[in-house]
Amino acid sequence: MAVAKKKPAASAARGSAPQKSSATKPVSKSAAKPPSKPAAAKPAAANSGSAKSNGVTAGLLPALSREQELAAYKQMLLIRRFEEKAGQMYGMGLIGGFCHLYIGQEAVVVGMQMALEDGDQVITGYRDHGHMIACDMDPKGVMAELTGRRGGYSKGKGGSMHMFSVEKGFYGGHGIVGAQVSLGTGLALANRYRGNDRVSLAYFGDGAANQGQVYESFNMAELWKLPVIYIIENNRYAMGTSVTRSSAQTDFSKRGISFNIPGEKVDGMDVRAVKDAGERAVKWCREGNGPFILEMMTYRYRGHSMSDPAKYRTREEVEKVRGEQDPIEQVRLRLIETKRATEDDLKKIDAQVRAVVNDAAEFATNDPEPDPSELWTDVVR
Ligand SMILES: Cc1ncc(C[n+]2csc(CCOP(=O)(O)OP(=O)(O)O)c2C)c(N)n1
């Protein structure tokens, strides 16, 4: 079900005809890096264009192949339908505790995953179901964890924010805001020690970007040239607080400047822009140049968590983003308009995705709860 990860030697998107679209807006690297550095993340000539409503500039992007677009469509749709189902099951009382949905932000994880190779690592905060599915973790195991069942990734004892799969390169799921940034930096330190050429991705939000440990991590990562990409998912709100109320510097792509870490602002609603920027950042890290920051301009359609009355924004604001920038709809329209897929092709994918999600929900409803003796396992006594 996963989108194909980039193979070391070739990317089907590289060298393809560029398409007019939104693109990344690089922060001046010449100011941030010493002149001896290789120019891996040099601004693309195509990036000079008009400003979009989400703060990035319109420019040219490498096209995705039909297969890549279809795979991205399917994967984003799987995340969306999974999250919608989780929301319904929460409403029915089948899921308890915290539950933070990723609806609206799907292009970020799916595009980044397309830029990775096997063995690369992902770590994130509590809004993590999409990251797990993008890492090809089994939707049944994720949903069963949400319902607290035996077949869940943490045997039903962790819940929404606490899942893990070393096999799939997913290192959690963390409820402490910003903690994953230090941990992701640690993953990169381990990779540097092992000399294994792996890159780790540490995802965090605009709110987490104001945590002190983020900057301690930035300092060490650049000092030791650690292969870590810091992905700031700027969905404009930290719980109910908008970035303009909480942040002195709202351009998060610049947050690495005082540490000499380059950064780019990316249209996180366009899977092509994410993949394109992700590939540049991965290359930068893999070549031993140290960390890279990607600020993804994105948006969450649902509340912060299931209990959010969302009084801090208007319904019109949500509907405007959904109507104009929806990441899944963008791919759908592109496939139809370029006649690379028919409505029937896409309906088939929709049906496949619904079947996977329904199976996951059924499993998560019928799988038994953990035995009470499990209370004494997997804990330090
Ligand atoms: C150290 C710490 N402080 C506060 C909280 C409470 N808290 C949970 S989520 C959150 C907001 C974080 O927002 P952001 O980083 O923008 O991520 P988003 O929810 O938008 O994905 C806060 C303050 C926490 N879990 N941990």
Task: Please give the residue that has the higher pLDDT: either 379 or 260.
Answer: 260
How far apart, in Å, do the first and last CA atoms of the chain sit? Answer: 39
pLDDT at 57: 64
The amino acid present at 166, given as its one-letter code, is V
Ligand 1 center–CA 376 separation, angstroms? 30
* Confidence band for 309, pLDDT divided at 50, 70 and 90: confident
Model confidence pLDDT, tens digit, residues 63-73: 999 999 999 99
Q: Which tokens in the block code for residue 63?
A: 């096209």
Q: What's the confidence (pLDDT) of residue 137?
A: 98
What is the whole-number distance in angstroms between the Cα of residue 252 and the centre of ligand 1?
16
- Residue pLDDT, tens place only, 147-206: 999 999 999 999 999 999 999 999 999 999 999 999 999 999 999 999 999 999 999 999
**Ligand 1 atom closest to Cα of 179?**
1
**Structure confidence at residue 359 as a pLDDT band (50, 70, 90):** very high
Residue 50 is predicted with a pLDDT of: 55
CA 315 to each of CA 106, 196, 244: distance values in angstroms, whole numbers, following the listed order: 20, 48, 19
Atom 3 in ligand 1: residue holding the nearest Cα: 177
Atom of ligand 1 nearest to the CA of 305: 19
Q: The whole model's pTM is what?
A: 0.90
What's the pLDDT tens digit per position in 223-254? 999 999 999 999 999 999 999 999 999 999 99
- Domain boundaries 19-29+48-59+66-365, CATH class: alpha beta
State in Å: Cα 240 to ligand 1 middle: 10
Q: What is the mean pLDDT of residues 341-356?
A: 98
Residue 286: per-residue pLDDT: 98
CA of 72 to the centre of ligand 1 (A): 28
Q: Which residues line ligand 1 (CB under 6 A)?
A: 127, 175-177, 204-208, 235, 237-239, 304
